[in-house]
Amino acid sequence: MDFPNSGEPDNDEREYGEYLPAPEIAEWTAADSENYSRQEMADFIGKKQQYYMRKFDYLEQGNKVSWNWAAFFFGNLWLLHRKMYKYFFVFLVITFVLSNSVPEEYSLFSIAITVVIGLMGNYLYMLHVKEKLKAVSRLGDQRERSDYIRKKGGVNWLGTIVVLAIIILIGGALVYLDYVGTGQNLLIPDETPPWRIR
């Protein structure tokens, strides 16, 4: 997700191809046998192309871990924002199972999950980009290739905003229902001294 404090350069808003000539684009990412160009990969990524292409180049050297602050802070929302729907639902299921099976330790598991996404997010994103771009090799027409990249790549702001709004609504509803059921607002601490018998 293209959030602040992601460790990505602020001037990285232009197209990847506008920054570098074609030879440098080829040098920035490791060679592979897939039938798509480096520019097509950059176009698929969309915003923050230089950041992710550098990360992919690092990961192509056999590394699996590469820190991403946006992935750490926003977790599943970052996965959704980058259209990694498969990983989004996997972590969503894991979170749901843990929250119901070990509710007492859920906060610790939640922190662990965000750390894992922060550490593995760039690697998962590289796998996602390569998986989606495999279909490009089966498209001969340049217009079809461009349309596919535009549709499958980039980011999903609408889905991210909708899910965030749902989370806020559910959280607000739970607080309200708890207040109605107990008469005690969770947001306002009970000022009754702990030693006084109620």
Same domain, 170 and 195: yes
pLDDT score for 48: 92
Label residues 51-81 b or e (16+ Cβ within 10 Å = b): bbbbbbebbeeeeeebebbbbbbbbbbbbbb
Same domain, 198 and 120: no
Contact of 52 with 82, CB cutoff 8 Å: no
Structural domain of residue 125, as residue ranges?
A: 16-155
Q: Is residue 178 part of a domain?
A: yes
Q: Is residue 5 part of a domain?
A: no
Q: Which amino acid is at 71?
A: A
Rg (CA), the chain: 22
Q: Is residue 1 part of a domain?
A: no
Same domain, 24 and 96: yes
Q: Is residue 188 part of a domain?
A: yes
Q: Which residues of the chain have pLDDT under 50?
A: 4-33, 186, 193-198
Same domain, 181 and 127: no
pLDDT score for 188: 52
Q: Which amino acid is at 77?
A: L
Q: How many independent structural domains does the chain possess?
A: 2
Same domain, 146 and 125: yes
pLDDT digits (tens, 9 = 90+) for 56-109: 999 999 888 999 999 999 999 999 999 999 999 999 898 888 877 777 777 788
Q: Is residue 122 part of a domain?
A: yes
Is 84 buried (19+), middle (13-18) or exposed (0-12) by CB count in 10 A?
A: buried
Q: How far apart are CA 100 and CA 150, in angstroms?
A: 39
Same domain, 26 and 114: yes
pTM of the model: 0.71
Closest CA to 84 of 113, 57, 51, 120: 120
